[in-house]
Chain A
Amino acid sequence: MIPVRYNLRSLVVRKATTAATSLGIALVVFVLAASMMLVSGIDRTLGAAGRADNAIVLRRGSDAELNSIIDVQKVGLVAAAPGVATAGGGPAVAGEIVVVATMNKVGGEGFTNVLIRGVTERSASLRGALTVVEGRAPSPGADEVMIGKQIRGRFPGVDLGQSFELKKNRAVKVVGVFTDGGSSHESEVWGDVELIRSSFGRAGVVSGVRVRLTSPAAFDAFKQSVEGDKNLGFEALRETAFLEKQSEGLRAFVTALGASIAFFFSVGAMIGAMITMYASIANRRREIGTLRALGFPRWQILLSFLIESITLALAGGALGAGAATALKLVSFSMMNFSTWSEMVFTFQPTPGILGGAMAFAGVMGLVGGFFPALAAARTSPVVAMKG
């Protein structure tokens, strides 16, 4: 076998072209890994927070809480359905209202929508991991709210101990900051359901009802009962399925964007790798002819140059994947289409994503290097003799 150090050193000797070519590949891997990490971050924020033994009831035909309206009086019917767990001496249900408020960003860079959730005293316990990390939960009846960790300080007055206007002339005080395992609730403002209803003129209605079931298996009977009376117009969804649906659009958007950018870049990067390898092989014709004269068979020459271009690509891949991993430190806000409000996402690197991105780099090296390697393998040994 032709030793791999031959290829490694040949790459090192051509520092500038090697670096330029692997940078091209690094860019592709960066885009690819970053978009996959973002999708995984979206899953974490929008999807992973759901519980299999939670259900949400919305008005039939409304995919999201935002455009669902249910009469407050009918919440009792949901609570009476079979399979509903009890907690604290009552049914584990919470009729919540969800509205969107427009807020100015800190620093005056325009405004954006923030999701405001009117909750009951049961709402927090229906979430898997909701914890007030600073301050306290708002008291019912008071003009108080708590805010998710991710929007803290992003809007004027939206910070612990400060006040801001939910609506014109409707100032509320921030008394607590909460986390919820990275879920989308961390980008919301939570207040008492009565406060939110009156502030936004939504008397007598909720958006949806969150329900804790006795077990995940209890869902089917619950759904049948709740959806049974067509006049009520209810639709029951598992919380996991509901959240997955919420993230579908954004997930598809980021995936499509990332994949198409990566695809076009990768064509360029592969052509770059091909040109580099062709040039390098043209410069080494005598070397290759000598190897052939010494008796190295064609397949070994082919393999050797494939290894070289794959190594070149993997070096770029490692660079791109490393840079993408650094995005872990970055969080950024993006419009979530299903709620029309801004939500903060993080990039979530996983071994699978990084491994997949490296594999993609390897494939780029293989494809880009194939024809040059074939040309090298076809070099006649007579070349070695030419003065």
Chain B
Amino acid sequence: MSTQIEVRKVVKSFERGGQTLRVLDALDLQIEEGSFDALMGPSGSGKSTLLNLIAGLDRPTSGEVIVAGASLGQMSEAAQATWRSRTLGFIFQSYNLIPVLTAQENVELPLLLTNLSSAERKRRSETALRVVGLEQRMGHLPRMLSGGQEQRVAIARAIVNDPAVIVADEPTGDLDRQSADDILTLLQKLNTELGKTILMVTHDPMAAERAKTVHRLDKGRLA
């Protein structure tokens, strides 16, 4: 097993009202390939901030982030975007589906950045929707779906480009218990059956229970 995510001495501070807020303070984290890790911590402890750094959405004030063999600090903004499209799958708390696109079109989005043919894109997005059990809902717009179904579409979108790593920020935060359980079962399946490395931010202990490893963030460091 090799290291898939490595965070070294990362500091992240925000300037706010003339004050410097040090959210992450020389934080270290290692996640093995094929692992399913949960990141817990009180609200405002910097979980999303850390996830953004690992996902290449934001840059650390200092320190290094290496994901799937790539050192993110070395990359230009455009290179990071390309890297994200090839390496990462994103799952958001509020699903973030494009409201005017159908389930299938939403899932197809990441493939529009590849040079796959339109037939192949369609085939793959349909396969991904089948994995999440929504092959009957391909032509539905997000507003015609339940929250749980929307999140499953979002998961299909996160796996359609066969990423090495999936990052999820509070994926069950907006869902009822039953839907949340379904989503967590699905994530576990992606981890065990498809071998995806998953990093999930959550403050729900029942969600964290499903992960193989749980990290706790407190006062800018992992406890």
Interface contacts (Cβ under 8 Å), in number, total: 81
**A296–B157 Cα gap in the complex (Å)?**
14
- State the CA gap A52–B109 with chains docked (Å): 64
Residues of B within 8 A of A133 (CB): none
Is B93 within 8 A of A387, CB to CB? yes
- Give the chain A neighbours of B86 by CB distance below 8 A: 295
Is the pair B57, A290 in contact by a Cβ cutoff of 8 Å? no
Give the residues from 70 to 121 in chain B that come closer than 8 angstroms, CB to CB, to chain A.
77-78, 81-86, 90, 92-94, 96, 98-101, 105, 109-110, 112-113
Q: Which range contains the number of B residues in contact with the other chain?
A: 20 to 34
Q: Is the CB of A294 within 8 A of B84?
A: yes
* Beta-carbon contact of B84 and A382 below 8 Å: no
Instruction: State A69–B113 Cα separation when bound (angstroms).
Output: 78
Among A3, A9, A294, A381, max chain B CB count under 10 A is at A294
Question: How far does the alpha carbon of A370 sit from the alpha carbon of B90 in the complex, in Å?
Answer: 30
Contact B100 A384 (CB under 8 A): no
Centre residue among A3, A13, A380 by max chain B CB count within 10 A:
A3
Chain B residues near A293: list those with CB within 8 A. 55, 57, 84, 90
The yes or no answer to B170 lying at the interface (CB within 8 A) is yes
Q: Does B48 contact A (CB under 8 A)?
A: yes
- In chain A between 270 and 314, which residues have their CB closer than 8 angstroms to a CB of chain B? 286-287, 290-298
**How many residues of A are counted as interface, with CB atoms below 8 angstroms from the partner's CB atoms?**
26
Q: CA–CA, A299 to B162, complex, Å?
A: 25
Distance A231 CA – B78 CA, assembled complex (angstroms): 82
Complex Cα gap A13–B96 (Å) = 17
Q: Per-residue 0/1 for A13-32: is the Cβ within 8 Å of any B Cβ (1 yes, 0 no)? A: 10000000000000000000
CB-based contact A294/B98 at 8 Å: no
User: Which secondary structure dominates where chain A touches chain B?
Assistant: helix
A382 to B80 alpha-carbon distance, docked (Å): 13
Question: A20 to B54, alpha carbons, bound, how many Å?
Answer: 44
B212 to chain A, nearest CB (A): 23
CA–CA, A175 to B150, complex, Å?
Answer: 81
Chain B residues positioned under 8 Å from A295 (CB to CB) = 81-86, 110, 113
> Does chain A have a CB within 8 A of B13?
no
Task: Tell me which residues across on chain A come within 8 A of B81, comparing CB atoms.
Answer: 292, 295-298, 381
CA distance A387 to B105 in the complex (A): 23
Mask for B121-137, Cβ within 8 A of A = 1, else 0? 00000000000000000
A9–B143 alpha-carbon span in the complex (Å):
14
List chain A residues, Cβ under 8 A from B90: 290, 293-294, 384
Min CB–CB distance B207 → chain A (angstroms)? 15
Q: Indicate if the CB atoms of A385 and B51 lie closer than 8 Å.
A: yes
With A294-B90, A298-B78 given, is the CB distance from A382 to B57 under 8 Å?
yes
8 Å CB interface, A251-281 against B: none
| B52 close to A (CB within 8 Å) | yes
Structural contact, B52 and A6, CB atoms closer than 8 A? no
Contact of B170 among A5, A292, A387 (CB under 8 A): A387
Contacts of B109 in A (CB 8 A): 291, 294
Q: Does A10 contact B (CB under 8 A)?
A: yes
Please name all residues of chain A whose beta carbon is closer than 8 Å to the beta carbon of B83 when the two chains form the complex.
295
Assembled-state Cα–Cα distance A382/B90 (Å): 12
Query: Whose C-beta in chain B lies nearest to the C-beta of A294?
Result: B110
Does chain B have a CB within 8 A of A203?
Answer: no
Q: A291-B109, A294-B84, A296-B81 are in contact. Are A385 and B92 (CB under 8 A)?
A: yes
Residues of A within 8 Å of B52, CB to CB, are: 382, 385
CA–CA, A10 and B90, complex, Å: 23
Q: Which residues of B contact A384 (CB under 8 A)?
A: 57, 90, 92, 96
A1 at the interface (CB under 8 A from B): yes
B101–A9 touching, CB < 8 Å: yes
Indicate whether A80 reaches chain B with its CB closer than 8 angstroms. no
Contacts of A286 in B (CB 8 A): 94, 96
Q: Mark A365-387, 1 if CB is under 8 A from B, else 0.
A: 00000000000000011101111
Find out whether the CB atom of B92 lies under 8 angstroms from the CB atom of A290: yes
In angstroms, Cα B86 to Cα A292, docked, is 13
CB contact list, B175-202 vs A, under 8 A: none
- Scan residues 74-119 of chain A and give those whose CB is less than 8 A from a CB of chain B: none
Q: B100 and A294: CB pair below 8 A?
A: no
Q: Does chain A have a CB within 8 A of B41?
A: no
Can you pick out 6 interface pairs between chain A and chain B where the beta carbons lie within 8 Å of each other? Answer: A5-B100, A10-B100, A287-B99, A294-B157, A381-B84, A382-B58
B interface residues with partner A (beta carbon < 8 Å)? 48, 51-52, 55, 57-58, 77-78, 81-86, 90, 92-94, 96, 98-101, 105, 109-110, 112-113, 157, 169-170, 173
Contacts beyond the supplied A295-B85, A297-B81, A382-B57: 7 A-B pairs with Cβ under 8 Å? A291-B109, A293-B84, A294-B110, A297-B82, A381-B57, A382-B58, A387-B170
